[in-house]
């Protein structure tokens, strides 16, 4: 009787051991949640000579405007250096056509009508003479014989202190610009500012005129 009891216990122990062996792999593998990314694979396309990667288009600006690589760059007054184009007396020699009125000073001698009537007038500068605008609307052009040309420079602060007009009002986008002072033996005087290639500004009677070089 006792032998049968021990034999039964041995059979039960064998079944328990087998059950434990079967359950352990399931607990170690199948029932354990996999970590994120564990056991995952990414299938990449096989590249050959004819494969082309997709073109990535950059996002447009927030305002929806497309980027234009040829768009001009705007400048604020004071953020660029004075121009490097010729601006000595030799650069002034030649004929210049008055193209427009840029601004009127607070105490100018020219009315708007008188100033605009000068548009189209041609002034000439040479070693022997210089034609300049005067402060008198009834006699707007003066010829200075044997003029003396003096190179100088005018910055925005000095310009405003002297004329009470800022560089932006006369379309100057520089911190300072080269200028030529023109004087005569009789005391006549004038000043021109080089503001761009083949473009100058002349001041007369508190009014600011733009002139462009006449190309023959």
For residue 83, pLDDT beyond 90: no
Q: What is the pLDDT of residues 188-198, one digit of tens each?
A: 899 999 998 89
Report the pLDDT value the prediction gives residue 9, as an integer from 0 to 100. 59
For residue 12, pLDDT beyond 60: yes
Considering only 49-53, 128-132, 145-149, 153-157, which range has the smallest mean pLDDT? 49-53
Q: Return d(Cα 148, Cα 133) in angstroms, integer.
A: 16
Q: Return d(Cα 201, Cα 194) in angstroms, integer.
A: 7
Report the pLDDT value the prediction gives residue 87, as an integer from 0 to 100. 82
Domain ranges of the chain: 89-213
Distance of CA 23 to the CA centre of its chain: 74
Q: What percent of the chain has pLDDT over 90?
A: 51
Which position has the higher pLDDT, 176 or 1? 176
Report the pLDDT value the prediction gives residue 64, as an integer from 0 to 100. 44
Report the pLDDT value the prediction gives residue 3, as an integer from 0 to 100. 55
pLDDT band for position 10 (50/70/90)? low
pLDDT band for position 129 (50/70/90)? very high
Q: Rounded to two decimals, what is the model's pTM? A: 0.62
For residue 48, pLDDT beyond 80: no
Q: Which residues pair with 216 in a beta bridge?
A: none
Q: Return d(Cα 58, Cα 26) in angstroms, integer.
A: 51
């Amino acid at each position: 009787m006792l032998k049968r009891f021990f034999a039964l216990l041995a059979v039960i122990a064998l079944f328990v051991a087998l059950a434990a062996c079967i359950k352990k792999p399931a607990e170690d593998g199948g029932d354990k949640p996999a970590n994120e990314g564990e056991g995952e694979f990414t299938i990449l396309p096989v590249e050959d000579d004819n494969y082309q990667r997709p073109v990535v288009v950059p996002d447009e600006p927030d305002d929806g405007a497309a980027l234009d690589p040829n768009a001009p760059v705007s400048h604020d007054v004071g953020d660029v250096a004075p121009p490097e184009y010729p601006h000595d007396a030799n650069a002034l020699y030649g004929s210049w056509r008055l193209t427009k009125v840029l601004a009127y000073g607070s105490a100018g001698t020219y009315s708007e009508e008188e100033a605009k009537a000068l548009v189209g007038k041609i002034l000439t500068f040479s070693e022997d003479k210089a034609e300049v605008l005067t402060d008198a609307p009834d006699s707007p052009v003066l010829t200075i014989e044997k003029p003396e040309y003096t190179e100088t420079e005018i910055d925005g602060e000095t310009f405003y202190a002297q004329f009470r007009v800022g560089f932006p009002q006369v379309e100057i986008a520089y911190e300072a610009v080269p200028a030529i002072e023109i004087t005569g033996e009789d005391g006549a005087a004038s000043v021109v500012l080089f503001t761009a290639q083949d473009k100058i500004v002349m001041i007369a009677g508190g009014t600011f005129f733009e002139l462009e070089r006449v190309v023959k």
